[in-house]
Structure 1
């Protein structure tokens, strides 16, 4: 991708993030994203298949930027702490809860799966998954735990994440995996 294309892609991602800070995901249209990005709808579709594809690209990019050399659960904590104002806007207002839940599950599953395939670090969670005979099921279990943590905060209507509580819960989960490796 050339510099101009990368700049346009980043422009779209930035506009989308800014819209998400102020408005729920399902209330944002591709037309709004395009207008905020100062591009046409057809330009948007040259870069992303749809709004779901854009959401996936944004989450992947920000998770990797957050703490690229850190274990998965550390990245998760740092990501949630940094982006909670946006994550809480991913809860649906008009669309079905299951649709967005499915999107987030898919994104988390793919992020973990990529780590399992390519990661060579000493991440106890990834090592446990690699050693498992049922890697896909283990990935689903980890993804389910992480989604459960996010859903708890959504159900509580948390405007701000309790950092100490989140870090403690994730350390406890990580401790389960360190005993296995």
Structure 2
């Protein structure tokens, strides 16, 4: 991808992130994203097949840009803390709950799976999955656990997350995996 194309892609991602900070995901249209990006709808579709692929790209880019070498659970905490205003707007307002839930599950599953394939070191969760005979099921279990934590905050309508509570829970989970490694 050339510099101009990367700049346009970043422009779209940035506009989308700004819009997500203002209103719920299912209330944002491709037309709004295009207008906020100062591009045409056809340009949007040259970079992303739909709004779902844009969401996936934004989460993947953000995670890799901000916490690329951290263990999975640390990365999750840092991401949730840094992007809570955006994450809480991923809560659907009406009809799209199942779609959005499925998208977020898919994104988390793929992020975990990539780490398992890449062989992340010094990450007890990933090492446990790598040693499992049922890697896909283990990935799904971890992904479900992380979604459950995120959903708890969303369901409570929390304006801010309780950082100490989240970190304590993640440390407890992490220690369970460390004990298994010993």
The interval holding the TM-score normalised by the smaller chain is: over 0.9
Equivalent residue number for residue 173 of structure 2:
173
Report 1:57-96 matches (<5 A): 57-96=57-96
Verify: 1:39 aligned to 2:39, yes or no: yes
Structure 2: which 5+ residue stretches go unaligned? none
Q: Give CA-to-partner distance per residue, 1:37-86, whole Å, 9 cap, x none.
A: 00000000000000000000000011112211110000000000000000
8 Å contact kept, 2:26–2:96: no
Verify: 1:8 aligned to 2:16, yes or no: no
Specify the SS of the correspondent of 2:180. Answer: coil
Report 1:105-116 matches (<5 A): 105-116=105-116
Give the Cα separation in 2 of the matches to 1:43 and 1:98: 28
Runs of 4+ in structure 1 displaced over 4 angstroms?
none
- Aligned-residue offset at 1:99: 1.1
The aligned length equals: 181
Specify the SS of the correspondent of 1:179. Answer: helix
> Superposition RMSD on alpha carbons, in Å?
0.7
Give the Cα separation in 2 of the matches to 1:75 and 1:53: 21
TM (norm. structure 1) is: 0.98
Give the Cα separation in 1 of the matches to 2:104 and 2:94: 17
TM (norm. structure 2) is: 0.98
Equivalent residue number for residue 163 of structure 2:
163
Equivalent residue number for residue 124 of structure 2:
124
Specify the SS of the correspondent of 1:115. Answer: helix
Give the Cα separation in 2 of the matches to 1:73 and 1:133: 22
Verify: 1:20 aligned to 2:24, yes or no: no
Structure 1: which 5+ residue stretches go unaligned? none
Equivalent residue number for residue 146 of structure 1:
146
- Aligned-residue offset at 1:180: 1.1
